[in-house]
Amino acid sequence: MGRIVKQLSDNTSKYYWYPGEKVEWIRALVALAVGGGAGVLLMLITRNGLAAVTVGCAATLAVAGFNFGRRDAKALSGFPDMNDKAARRAAIVYSGRAMWRGMVQGLGAAFAAVFVLNLAHEGWMADWVMPLLPGAVGALGHQLGMIWDRLGTTVKAPKTAAATSAAEGEAPAQ
């Protein structure tokens, strides 16, 4: 939850609360700008509205999916053990946020499919493939975001028996 603090006097402050963090709102605007820019650029080049809208929606969902994937990976890495009551409450909070992100991503894909499908078009490709393309690209962006976040973490590899004995100065068993 984000907040804006407005100082009215020395001892009075007014707080404005808004959902989410400022960084996440900026990332959402970047995703919309990338999609809009890609759509406008393709429209100027090809003069094909169906292709421009499809690519624009796919670019928006790819960037948004990448951001959602990074946030999901961060939430999974901090997921608590289920041993005590406070940890179970924290797990409910994590699950609620993940459900919200999943719902937003699914609604974005559905909106993009309906938007692409309602353009003037003809043919099997425009009826069946083009509406599904933005959702599929968004899902791939989500997976890429999760992998990207996991690549940033380091995991200590377990030592083998030969490496342990060599480190202790013993000759490896033959």
Per-residue pLDDT at 129: 92
Exposed, middle or buried: residue 28 (CB in 10 Å: 0-12, 13-18, 19+)? middle
Domain range holding 132? 2-153
Judge whether 163 lies within some domain. no
Judge whether 173 lies within some domain. no
**pLDDT per position as a tens digit, 36-61:** 999 999 999 999 999 999 999 999 99
**pLDDT per position as a tens digit, 122-138:** 889 999 999 999 999 99
* CB crowding 37-48: b at 16 or more within 10 Å, else e: ebbeebbeeeee
Single out the residue of 105, 103, 84 nearest to residue 95, CA to CA.
Answer: 103
Judge whether 158 lies within some domain. no
Judge whether 79 lies within some domain. yes
Structure tokens at 159: 């030592």
pLDDT at 34 over 90: yes
pLDDT at 66 over 60: yes
Work out the average pLDDT over 66-95.
79
Judge whether 174 lies within some domain. no
Judge whether 161 lies within some domain. no
Judge whether 172 lies within some domain. no
Count of domains observed in the chain: 1
